[in-house]
Amino acid sequence: MRAPHEDQTMTQTGILPDHALHALVDEGVVRPDTPLADGQVQPASIDLRLGERAYRLRASFLPGGGRRVSERLAGDVVMHQIDLRGGAVLETGCVYLVPLQESLALRPGLTAAMNPKSSTGRIDVFTRVITDGGEAFDQAPVDYEGPLYAEICPRTFSILARPGDRLSQIRFRADAFKPTREVTVSVDLMGFDEGIVGYRARRHAGLVDLAGIGQHPRAQFWEPLRSEKGQLVLDPGEFYILASREAVVIGLDEAAEMAPIAPEIGEFRAHYAGFFDPGFGVAEAGGTGGRAVLEVRGRDVPFILEHGQPVARLVYEAMAERPSKAYGQVASNYQAQGLKLSKFFV
């Protein structure tokens, strides 16, 4: 039996804003195990919180139509369980699955998509959300009712995780995905402060504590990079933080998301994490146009990246309504950013 909201219909199309997201919780569309925490609802998304246990997996999986995640976890895909309540280390190169504190009961006409938070991508933690019966990552099936799980694979830095930590976020749409426009984003290799154009992650660095915002010395985890005549050589398998040449402004009536520009670029992969909320880079919300931070990994051979080279697309969508508070008017770490590492580093 579905919740009482099942006969309600949306009167507007587009991405739902913060006040509508609170209403989804009240209506039982979003079902948190515990009350939402301060700052968990963003202008156009809800942060998803880790639960109390993690499963160390042999390999990633999708349950497929008609199958529950719990059924797969009862099989031979799990190597062991980890209690997160006292804090636990999730190690690089390993795959974990963590039940989330939020579950869903979607109503007709409402879709949901998930994405890593910006801070997650900037520490090279590969994460995506799966559902019961899921045949694709980071998407909830139509009319989905059930739990959510975060698949987590730290790539460069091991992380210390606890219940309530937020690695992913969810965005709701009334009606289907409908981009309004796309903008090509290129890379800036001419330099920011002190001529630095980017950072390369240090191998075998220390542990990143997800509760330690602003507590990790930058120099212990990152090597600053300077370009030669607007060029940077990407080494295979290395992880880089770079920034866009263009200033990004997201109006109050729209939201955006990064997407690859073309699969045939070939020799590097840009892993774009996080949604761009309404108000990002907007002057009245404390921004003057912020750069898009790019998470880049070299592929099979060394590759020369050039200043101004297109690396991504910024895909815009309409909001169903303006949010009550824009990005920058709530707690935000990246408003008016330039070349900026994750919030964990100082």
pLDDT in tens, 230-252: 999 999 999 999 999 999 899 99
What is the per-residue pLDDT for 25?
98
d(CA 100, CA 285) in angstroms, rounded, equals: 31
d(CA 39, CA 247) in angstroms, rounded, equals: 26
Asked if CATH classification 2.70.40.10 holds for the domain at 180-318, the reply, yes or no, is yes
The reply to whether 180-318 shares the fold of 4-178 is: yes
What is the per-residue pLDDT for 55?
98
For the whole prediction, is pTM greater than 0.85? Answer: yes
- Going from N- to C-terminal start, the domains of the chain cover 4-178, 180-318
d(CA 173, CA 255) in angstroms, rounded, equals: 11
What is the per-residue pLDDT for 193?
85
Better pLDDT: 327 or 62: 62
d(CA 33, CA 226) in angstroms, rounded, equals: 47
CATH architecture designation of domain 4-178: Distorted Sandwich (2.70)
What are the C-alpha distances in Å from 307 to residues 57, 78, 109, 245? 40, 45, 43, 8
What is the per-residue pLDDT for 3?
38
What is the per-residue pLDDT for 9?
39
Q: Closest Cα partner for 13 from 172, 133, 145, 144?
A: 172
> What's phi and psi for 165, nearest 5 deg?
-65, 150
DSSP state letters, 86-100: T-EEEPTT-EEEEEE
What is the per-residue pLDDT for 208?
98
Average pLDDT of the residues of the chain: 90
The predicted-structure confidence for 65-92, as pLDDT tens digits, reads as follows 889 999 999 999 999 999 999 999 999 9
Does residue 96 surpass a pLDDT of 80?
yes
204 Cα distance to chain centroid: 24
pLDDT > 90: percent of the chain: 74
Does residue 260 surpass a pLDDT of 50?
yes
